[in-house]
Amino acid sequence: MANSFHLPVLTKEILNYLNLKKGGVYIDCTLGGGGHSKAILEKIYPHGLLIGIDQDIEAIETAKEELKSYIDKVKLVKGNFKNLEEILSDLKTETVSGIIFDLGVSFHQLKEKERGFSFKEDSHLDMRMDLNQEFNADILINSYSEKDLAEIFEKYGEERFSKRIARLIVIERKKKTFTTTKQLADLIIKTLPRTKKRHTWRIHPATRVFQAIRIEVNQELKALEKGLNQAIRVLEDKGRICVISYHSLEDRIVKHLFKEAEREGKEQKNYGLKIVTKKPIRPSLEEVRDNPKARSAKLRVAEKIMFTTI
């Protein structure tokens, strides 16, 4: 199931919770290397259909190869899941039996130097998931005001030193434009109070700021809200939605939207979501040992139901 592009997380749990059925149509909104999609196809093939979406063309190309033995039951779309309903309408599909979101970036995006996601590699400040998009991390760092930078670092990175880092970026960029990940990571280390400068940190000091920039460049949280709302609408009766998130900002949105959809369904005696996982499912110790990147994953699952019937 694994390929060097990405090692899928919580796969057994996803298969279990999706309640796969013969002839069902499933959407993988975050195709990546096709790991989760392949696991689904192994269960449903030769019946049903798998629609895979990713905004990264490199993911689409890798998944095409990974899923080639099932190709007559696969439709791959390069697109953003924030346009889910439009994508489905283009495919002449109205409702689906199950949907998965495995948020964030793939290992491939993180480790490919040129993609500019990682402070561990020195590369151009990029961080775009969609390579056709013009706006990237370089433009953000060199053009946002000090106030906007601080706000993003605070809001999307929950960074304690957001104001201090933003101030220093604005001072430094007057002398030299920021172009590389190392330039930015080194500056972030420089902003640390002296006691924190020694290399005793638990996570690299640039982690939070890089997360914040990535979220802003790709408008990740807005896309998540839009995508989830549309996903709820296109699910068929008793269809399930599974979302794996990797940080608290994403998880909060998923938890809140699921609860809202449950409340609305109950109040209006109409379709809504029944929350299947009261608490998020975490990877087993064994999975984390084999794949340490899985350690922050949280899976939430909900089922679309008609509230008048219970």
Ligand X SMILES: C[S@@+](CC[C@H](N)C(=O)[O-])C[C@H]1O[C@@H](n2cnc3c(N)ncnc32)[C@H](O)[C@@H]1O
Please pick, from the candidates 70, 81, 119, 210, the single residue that binds ligand X as defined by CB under 6 A.
81
134-to-55, 70, 130 alpha-carbon distances in Å: 14, 34, 9
- Smaller CB separation from ligand X, 81 or 271: 81
Please pick, from the candidates 6, 128, 214, 298, the single residue that binds ligand X as defined by CB under 6 A.
6
Stretch that binds ligand X, among 50-58, 90-98, 164-172, 272-280 (CB under 6 A): 50-58
- Smaller CB separation from ligand X, 45 or 307: 45
Radius of gyration of the chain (CA): 20
Site string for ligand X, 216-255 (x = CB under 6 A): -------x--------------------------------
CB-based contact 85:13 (threshold 8 Å): no
Stretch that binds ligand X, among 19-27, 80-88, 114-122, 273-281 (CB under 6 A): 80-88
CB-based contact 297:11 (threshold 8 Å): no
Question: What is the nearest approach in angstroms of ligand X to the Cβ of residue 84?
Answer: 9
Respond yes or no on whether the N-terminal peptide bond of residue 8 is cis (omega within 30° of 0): no
Question: What is the nearest approach in angstroms of ligand X to the Cβ of residue 130?
Answer: 8
C-alpha span between 172 and 143 (Å, rounded): 13
Question: What is the nearest approach in angstroms of ligand X to the Cβ of residue 269?
Answer: 33
Site string for ligand X, 111-150 (x = CB under 6 A): ------------------x---------------------
Q: Token digits for 208?
A: 């939070």
Contact partners, residue 248, CB within 8 Å, separation at least 6: 158
- The phi-psi region of residue 127 (left if phi > 0; otherwise alpha if psi is between -120 and 50; otherwise beta) is left
Say which DSSP state 82 is in: G
Say which DSSP state 288 is in: H
Q: Which residues bind ligand X (CB under 6 A)?
A: 6, 8, 30, 32-36, 53-56, 59, 80-82, 102, 104-106, 129, 223
